[in-house]
Amino acid sequence: MNHASPGGSWPTGESEAARLIRARDWAATPLGPVETWPGSLRAAVETILPVPIAMAVLWGPDLIQIYNDAQAALMGPERHPSIGRPAAAVWTEIWPLIEEDLAGVRAGGGAVRRDEVVLPITRDGRTHDLWWSYVYTPLPDPDAPNGVGGILVVATDVTQRVVAREEARTSTERLRALVENLPQLVWQSRDGGEWTWASPQWIATTGLSTEASLGLGWLDAVHPDDRDRVRAAWAALPESGRLDVVHRLLLAGGGSRWYQTRAHPSPRREGVPREWFGTSSDIDDIRRLQDQQKVLLGELQHRVRNTLAIVRSIARRTGDTAQSVGDFASHFEGRLNAIARTQAHVTRDPRAGIDLEYLVAEELTACAAREGARVTIGGPKVLLKSHAAQTLTLAIHELATNAVKFGALAGETGTISVTWEIDRGGATPFLRLTWREDGVVPDPERPEREGFGTELLRRTLPYELDATVQYEIGEDAVLCALTLPLTPRVLA
């Protein structure tokens, strides 16, 4: 039975909520027939029905609910239609969470506002934790206790907004964690190089605080000699469209290191200032290696030229003194092998130098003369530069070869002693090396004229190493005494 007021249907309108209100048997509810409703209740209902925002009126001690279409959409099929039913019977799963606030409003405590509250709502047969923002506003009624006849409810499901914000926050935190764990210094800037943000790596590396780095303050961390180049790179951005500049940064602990700074702009949007996202990568080690590589390449080119010059000289002098093609090949190969042994040692560590003891022992070993009863080697540690080592290698090779052919190692009883000492008595220390052969058996086939070895000892060593050479061949002994200054040109 419809108890709508005489003279027409109430409320007016074609909304679903209006039709449900008109069709409801209100006499069977605690509110009674609509014509008996207080004016404040009727006014509240008339107000909420056309509003597109979810709103409801809870009236009387039982909080009988009347709501609009927007609220019906939020309630879902589990609760709609439920116009005219007590709110506690409709919102059973959340009632313990909202009952206290509603009771406070009815008791005259004033309006209650809650933002982003999690409420477990049943939808599609499942309970979901949804986020809500709502306001409970008292509706006046002079005849009701505390002057409050009901409550106006304005509720908004903000789950999507909260979830999106949480996802954005999580994404931001992940991005921040990623950025803060990068080995590069990361920063953000406007056009013109005015920084808006600097990463913790930048602050830790340069010692500049975030505040000090903003705007153009970051330039204080750029090496003074490189600032003009960095400014020029920023000035060229309108034409280049990207930033790529190498410069030094002053470090928080002192000193400086080389960095490569790169940046790319955000897409242009109308009315939005363009931003640049950049990184500064430490390339100091790479740059030093490149510089070292250039030095080593220069040294290699110089060494190759010198080696070729020595090879040409060896070939020419070996040819001048060789008795036959076979004699030439034998001597030439031996001398090239001596150079090769020195070069092999140098290339393992070009800057370490060559140990004089290793050099002497290597050449004697190559001639099948090992240290032992017949061969003695000894002296302090001396590290020679490659050029000096190469020249001395040839000298030792010639002495060892002659010893095998005509000297102490040609017979069964001869001995060789190679010793050296360092004389530090003057401003420049001197190396004194003595090669002595005893027990030499005279060989009538020993050539009488000077060969390549003798020329190397008497002429090349003084010219190349500023050495003084004493070379004597006796009836049963050979003596070669070398004295050369240990200048930076000689010592490694």
Give yes or no for residue 317 having a pLDDT over 60: no
3-state secondary structure of 166: helix
Give yes or no for residue 314 having a pLDDT over 80: no
Q: Which of 51-55, 161-165, 288-292 has the lowest mean pLDDT?
A: 288-292
For the chain, domains (ranges, CATH) are: 16-163 (3.30.450.20), 182-282 (3.30.450.20), 344-485 (3.30.565.10)
Token pair 């080690």 is at which residue?
A: 285
* Other CB atoms within 10 A of residue 171 CB: 10
- What tokens appear for 347 in the block? 């290339």
**Tell me, what's the pLDDT at 340?**
66
**Tell me, what's the pLDDT at 322?**
63
| Cis status of the peptide bond prior to 11, with omega within 30 of 0 | yes
Phi, psi of 55 (to 5 degrees): -145, 150
Q: Which of 91-100, 138-147, 362-371 has the lowest mean pLDDT?
A: 362-371
- Global pTM? 0.46
pLDDT digits over 195-249, tens only? 999 989 999 999 999 999 999 999 999 999 999 999 999 998 877 788 999 999 9
**Tell me, what's the pLDDT at 436?**
94
**Tell me, what's the pLDDT at 1?**
34
The confidence band for 289, taking pLDDT boundaries of 50, 70 and 90, is confident
**Tell me, what's the pLDDT at 220?**
95
Q: Which of 151-160, 245-254, 403-412 has the lowest mean pLDDT?
A: 403-412
Percent of the chain with pLDDT over 70: 83
The confidence band for 76, taking pLDDT boundaries of 50, 70 and 90, is confident
**Tell me, what's the pLDDT at 374?**
85
DSSP letters spanning 313-377: HHHHHHHHH-SSHHHHHHHHHHHHHHHHHHHHHHHH-TTT-EEHHHHHHHHHHHTT--SSSSEEE
Token pair 């059973």 is at which residue?
A: 92
Give yes or no for residue 108 having a pLDDT over 60: yes
Considering only residues 369 and 112, tell me which one the structure prediction assigns the higher pLDDT: 112
The confidence band for 371, taking pLDDT boundaries of 50, 70 and 90, is low
The confidence band for 59, taking pLDDT boundaries of 50, 70 and 90, is very high
Interatomic CA distance for residues 9 and 170, integer angstroms: 54
pLDDT digits over 321-353, tens only? 566 777 677 666 666 676 666 666 666 666 667
Which amino acid type is present at position 366?
A: A
**Tell me, what's the pLDDT at 138?**
96
The mean per-residue pLDDT over the stretch 240-267 comes to 90
- Name the region of 8 (left: φ>0; alpha: ψ -120 to 50; beta: rest): left
Interatomic CA distance for residues 152 and 468, integer angstroms: 115
pLDDT digits over 153-180, tens only? 999 999 999 988 888 787 667 766 666 6
Give yes or no for residue 258 having a pLDDT over 90: yes
The confidence band for 405, taking pLDDT boundaries of 50, 70 and 90, is confident
**In whole numbers, what is the pLDDT of the chain averaged over residues?**
85
Q: Which of 69-83, 189-203, 295-309 has the lowest mean pLDDT?
A: 295-309
Considering only residues 71 and 323, tell me which one the structure prediction assigns the higher pLDDT: 71
**Tell me, what's the pLDDT at 291?**
82
Token pair 């919102």 is at which residue?
A: 91
Considering only residues 452 and 39, tell me which one the structure prediction assigns the higher pLDDT: 39
The mean per-residue pLDDT over the stretch 279-299 comes to 84
Number of helices (H), then strands (E), belonging to the chain: the values are 16, 17
